[in-house]
Amino acid sequence: MTHIAETFRALHVKGDPLLMVNVWDRGSARMMAAMGARALATSSAAHAFTMGRPDGGTVTRDEALAHAADIVSVTDLPVQGDFENGFGDTPDTCAETIRLAAEVGLAGICIEDIALPSAEAYAFDLAVERIAAAASAARALPHDFVLTARADGIMTKAYDTDDAIRRLIAFEQAGADCLYAPLPPDMDALARICAATTAPVNALVAGPFAQHSLADFAKVGVGRLSLGSALARVTHRAIYDAATAMIGDGEFSALTLGISGDIIDEFLT
């Protein structure tokens, strides 16, 4: 019998990107699945928002695991866990996080190279050791599991594109299945990243990259697209705009823009 992670792995094709939709609760997971998503993922930021916390190392591993299990429980789609820095600095911690993530039914997780809650990147050697330990733990599982290694320092300005590529090449050599450098300077930099590696590359559709189409990402060789917290922040934008009008001006017309409850119900039944 095919394990869900095998299905997930097969969806990663360079130049034919999988759209992996980041969700934040059972309702958003069920709605995206009903609308045709082929894979889902948690979002550390979106999850933190639901708990009344800011993004960036404010969610514990136990909380992230419970949240992921909640998402997995309502869908047959592959689900990836956004597990920040693996919830610890050491390679052993990253390996243990892999094992725990597999136990709750996740098809894979991503691990970044930022020493949260700071914006500082781990030293190169330690960053590679962390991914090597995670990959070893993934390969020791009785079933497939997709490990995504993230070079987040390109986003936090801890290093440039050349350094991100150096790290991603090393992460691939250490056993990572998918590679991810969120928000490089531009599409040309993203194309360089895709060309420098053989493993599929994830691109974050957020900020200026949301102006590009799926075909644009395919053209530069991307293998997977994720949304991070972008979709969740669309909902928060709607809340912010409506509340600003209601509380600030006593004006309620934004409430007429809401989707019909009947439509939502159709996706959830």
- The CATH number linked to 165 is 3.20.20.60
Check pLDDT > 80 for residue 1: no
- Give residue 169's pLDDT: 98
Please give the Cα distance from 69 to 66 (Å, whole number): 5
- Residue 25's domain comprises 4-230
Name residue 179's amino acid: L
What's the chain's average pLDDT? 96
Q: Are 150 and 167 in contact (CB under 8 A)?
A: no
Residue 36 lies in a domain: yes
Residue 149 lies in a domain: yes
| Confidence grade of residue 248 (pLDDT, cut at 50, 70, 90) | very high
| pLDDT 10s digits, 127-149 | 999 999 999 999 999 999 999 99
* DSSP 8-state code for residue 174: T
- For the record, the structure tokens of 19 come out as 């759209």
- Per the structure, the count of domains in the chain is 1
- For the record, the structure tokens of 150 come out as 């993230």
Closest to 110 measured CA to CA, from 83, 71, 132: 83
Residue 14 lies in a domain: yes
- Give residue 2's pLDDT: 79
Residue 236 lies in a domain: no
Q: Is 84 left (phi over 0), alpha (psi -120 to 50) or beta?
A: left
Residue 256 lies in a domain: no
- Overall pTM > 0.85: yes
Residue 245 lies in a domain: no
- Give residue 12's pLDDT: 98
Residue 146 lies in a domain: yes
Residue 240 lies in a domain: no
